[in-house]
Amino acid sequence: MVKKQRTGFEFLACRYAIGVLQSGDFTELDECIHRASLARLSGISALRYSKLSFEECVAKLAIADKSVKSTQLIEHNANFLIECLSLPANALELVTFILVLNAHAPLRHMLSAVEANDLHDQLEISLCEQLAIDVDQAREVVKTLFGFGLLKDMNLMHPSDLEIPEHLRMQLRKTKISSKEELLSAVLIESDAAAFNINEFPHINSNLVCNYLENAVLAELTGINVLFYGPPGVGKSEFARALSDHLSRYLFEVRAVSIKDGQFTDDERAPKIDKQRVSYLQFINQMLNANNQSMLLIDECESLFISADLQYSKEQLHRLLEKNNVPSIWITNHVECIEESFLRRFKLVLEFPQPTRQMVQSLATEAFAGLKVSNKFVQQLVPTANLSHALIANAAHVAKTIGSKGKEAEQIIMDVVESSLRAADLWNDEPSYQQALDFDITLLNIKQAAAELEQIRYAIERNEPIRVLLSGPAGTGKTAFAHYLAQQCQRDINRVKCSDVLDKYVGESEKNVARLFQTAHRDKQILLLDEVDSLLSSRERLHNQYEIQLVNELLTQMECFTQPLFAATNFDSLLDKAVLRRFDFKLDCDYLKTHQVQQLYKQLLAVKTLTATEQSYLEQLRNLTVGDFAILARRIKFLPAQNHRSSALQLLNEENKRKAIKPQIGFI
């Protein structure tokens, strides 16, 4: 048989047990309390099989104190609670009794047996007489302890139910408590150090939340609650840490805690976890005030609101949000799960959208330091949809842990990003715009003044709702120019195709148009309407009412749009007249000039000097575009070992002929 370990509180437990038992009827008590219970209570194993009378066994409970340190610890903590909670001095014995009751389980079991014998009223009166406190005053003390979250129940008629929450029970029986912070140390889990500066979140209104919290604390206001919401991994927790660092306040996370092998552990699987977290919040706010230089962080808070009326009342949460003493930051990935009655009790509600391209590039550059990844790779990674702080950090961590560099690191980063986004069903598998040749602004020829290009760029950098129409032959760089500007200005661009708009059902195409513009407005995207002549044909040429309605819807949305808008067409003569006057800039893109043709030819074929034949031949090709050279680049890529110099001229000549104006047959 395993020998039971002594708790060190047998002396005090026996002292209280004697007082209770001696005031009762020994005959009745003898029937409901076993000798084994008295043996466990006192640590005297001989009592288990003693033939003494019950009264004589009770007398044996008058034991010496063999654990003076444990007794002193309990008495110290009882005195601390009296002072900390401003309880009356004559409540000391009652508080000591409650601590012993929770430190020594056999005392609780004995009292439970007494209660089962229907001696409730006598037990309450007997206890109060022994503890030298009036019954009504004792009830008020117990009520106060319950209000501070130090007791789960406040019925003094059932003293065995005066249970201290587990996390506090461990503290009060093992640690000499000298401050509120020490008492709260089991539930106040210090948050990680801030990894970012608050200025590294330009897409968040940090000035608003900083100014509010600073002034609210200065004014000693209660009910200071701020809600951060947005998709996972966008930096809500990191911003909270940066915020507390900026405000010079300690940030503590309120999590569920359980006891395992005598140690405190985070336990997200604990039963009634939300009820536990709410009780911790109440306890912390009862114990602390707004001037203690602390802030609370309640992550994944949506479950607390979902559990309202299941594990506790809504009123309990309402009161907490209205009266909490400690400024609190609440974080959720699912704001839709929080009822309006809760939302309107938050003083500030801030959305955390996906980080901007500029921010992603800055984060990626910093995270990938030392991995020797190319700037081109970072530029290609930045536009990836749903890329977050956490995902960038994770990808960098894996690459650095493996010890990869350069191309290998780039592949690992892409693998981590793609697999993580696929798991969350956020990976975009749709084919995206790809260029065979990198865009070169010096190869874009427009018939208008070159200064207009700089004006367009300036407007995009200032996020002006500029509208640009790009027209001209296919392959002259219209679509590539829009993508180039978006990349240079670190803006997201949404290329709209006919398939994104047109629908077989009447009225649905207009809804698709409205949805595309609303999304671009919300996410601050540049819109590119490619092959716009298929969507905005002249209404004079249209015969069906639904086609005219689509043009009307597009015109209306264009006028209301708040972001930069580009439209590209090879057939501007087909556009509705009302469309043309809605564009601020109309750029006519033209064919390559002779020196540009020769430049591209030498670049792709890796030759320094042209032969006389090549030079003469290329001078005759006046209808070539960058798109034609993109075809040549792809041919070279397909057969890299082959000498393409002889076939290149033939390919370019064929492409040139396709665009040459054919003479019409007829009479003058």
Question: Quick one: pLDDT band at residue 433, thresholds 50, 70, 90?
Answer: low
Q: How far apart are CA 315 and CA 328, in angstroms?
A: 18
What burial class does residue 663 get, using C-beta atoms within 10 Å of its C-beta: 0-12 exposed, 13-18 middle, 19+ buried?
Answer: exposed
Average pLDDT over residues 516-528: 89
Question: Quick one: pLDDT band at residue 3, thresholds 50, 70, 90?
Answer: very low
**pLDDT surpasses 70 at 261:** no
pLDDT at 485: 93
What burial class does residue 355 get, using C-beta atoms within 10 Å of its C-beta: 0-12 exposed, 13-18 middle, 19+ buried?
Answer: buried
Residue type, 447: K
pLDDT tens track for 351-400: 998 877 778 888 888 889 999 999 889 988 888 888 888 899 899 999 99
Nearest to 439 by CA among 656, 627, 624: 627
pLDDT at 223: 94
Question: Quick one: pLDDT band at residue 262, thresholds 50, 70, 90?
Answer: very low
Pairing of strands 445-446, 585-590: antiparallel
pTM of full prediction above 0.85: no
pLDDT tens track for 78-94: 999 999 888 999 999 99
Does an H or E element contain 371, and which? none
Residue type, 566: F
**pLDDT surpasses 70 at 54:** yes
Of 354 and 178, which is predicted with more confidence? 178
> What rounded mean pLDDT belongs to the chain?
86
Average pLDDT over residues 31-35: 80
Q: How far apart are CA 499 and CA 510, in angstroms?
A: 13
DSSP state of 194: P
Average pLDDT over residues 582-594: 93
CA angle 602, 604, 605 (to 5 degrees): 65
In this predicted structure, which of 179-183, 524-528, 547-551, 662-666 has the lowest mean pLDDT? 662-666
Between the alpha carbon of residue 353 and those of residues 42, 234, 235, 359, 381, the distances in Å are: 63, 7, 9, 12, 18
Q: How far apart are CA 451 and CA 449, in angstroms?
A: 5
pLDDT at 269: 44
**pLDDT surpasses 80 at 403:** yes
pLDDT tens track for 193-247: 888 888 888 888 999 999 999 999 888 899 999 999 998 888 899 999 999 999 9
pLDDT at 268: 46
pLDDT at 544: 66
Average pLDDT over residues 575-584: 82
Residue 197 Ramachandran class (φ > 0 left, ψ -120 to 50 alpha, else beta): beta
Q: How far apart are CA 387 and CA 199, in angstroms?
A: 20
Q: Which residues contact 431 (CB under 8 A, 6 or more apart)?
A: none
In this predicted structure, which of 56-70, 114-128, 312-326, 564-578 has the lowest mean pLDDT? 114-128
pLDDT at 264: 45
